[in-house]
């Protein structure tokens, strides 16, 4: 098991890529810390991890609220004495064209997708540096590299996450802490539930593999990056997009 006893915090962990990630980490032997907004969803994810034989904790919290993030990190550190992995997975969309986008739509996406990543990373950084090891994994997107129609806020947030990743890998690398980003393409998650079937089919046609990705395929990349197998991978942005940007 590649992640045996690694204390791993995952945000946005109750559905989609986040849920697939905690389940993958559980199978790989990690001690899993499930973080999401709704208590019932958190409890369900924790139960699934425990069914796989993993030790798991759950926290219902809003990652945009620094006090809640700090309290969760303090509780994890008190219980286990260390934090080995942080997966900054929580994210939202509030799409609109530039001329139609409201300040509320812009601010909501920046708060969850960018500001909260800063909150969580800063909250664990001292612990990881003090123990001389740790991994921070940030969820970017191919949209953060190439842009996308109607996603000014989302593209900015995901491009910003890449900036975080490059900067933190330089700052924290000398302390033994690796920081990397994953940039998924079109993945079959609840975030696509409002998109018409015709548009989904057009998305498939843009991918050389002619299908959307699965959450488990992103989770597998996170698991590799979190493991010692990726011990010399730092500051990378790994596209997992089926070749759609080729």
Residue appearing with tokens 């389940």? 23
Which secondary-structure segment (H or E) carries 15?
A: none
Q: Which pair of tokens denotes residue 24? A: 């993958």
DSSP classification of residue 129: H
Kindly provide the b/e burial profile for residues 173-200, where b requires at least 16 CB atoms within 10 angstroms of the residue's own CB.
eeeebbbbbbbbbbbbbeeeeeeeeeee
**Cα 144 from Cα 104, distance rounded (Å):** 20
* Closest residue by Cα to residue 85 from 9, 143, 176: 9
Out of 80, 146, 154, 232, which one is annotated catalytic?
154
State the Cα–Cα distance between residues 222 and 245, nearest whole angstrom: 20
Q: Respond yes or no: is residue 232 known to be catalytic.
A: no
Between CA 162 and CA 193 the distance in angstroms is: 26
Where are the alpha helices (H) located in the chain, listed in sequence order? 16-27, 39-51, 66-80, 103-110, 116-131, 142-146, 152-172, 197-205, 215-226
Burial of 43 (C-beta count, 10 Å sphere; 0-12/13-18/19+): middle
**Catalytic residue annotation:** 154
């Amino acid at each position: 098991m590649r992640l045996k006893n690694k204390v791993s915090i995952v945000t946005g962990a109750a559905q989609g890529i986040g849920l697939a990630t905690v389940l993958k980490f559980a199978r790989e032997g990690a001690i899993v810390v499930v973080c999401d907004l709704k208590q019932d969803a958190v409890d369900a994810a924790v139960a699934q991890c425990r069914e796989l034989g993993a030790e798991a904790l759950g926290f219902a919290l809003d990652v945009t609220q620094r006090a809640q993030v700090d309290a969760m990190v303090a509780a994890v550190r008190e219980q286990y004495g260390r934090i080995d992995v942080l997966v900054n997975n929580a994210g939202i969309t509030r799409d609109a064209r530039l001329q139609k986008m409201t300040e509320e739509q812009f601010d909501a996406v920046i708060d969850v997708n960018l500001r909260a990543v800063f909150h969580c990373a800063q909250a664990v950084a001292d612990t990881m540096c003090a123990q001389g090891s740790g991994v921070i994994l940030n969820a970017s997107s191919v949209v953060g590299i190439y842009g996308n129609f109607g996603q000014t806020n989302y593209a900015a947030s995901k491009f910003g996450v890449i900036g975080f990743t490059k900067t933190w890998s330089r700052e924290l690398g000398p302390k033994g802490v690796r920081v990397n980003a994953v940039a998924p393409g079109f993945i079959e998650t609840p975030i696509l539930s409002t998109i018409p079937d015709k548009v989904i089919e057009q998305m498939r046609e843009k991918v050389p593999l002619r299908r959307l990705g699965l959450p488990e395929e992103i989770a597998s990349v996170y698991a590799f990056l979190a493991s010692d197998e990726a011990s010399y991978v730092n500051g990378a942005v790994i596209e997992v997009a089926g070749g759609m940007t080729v």
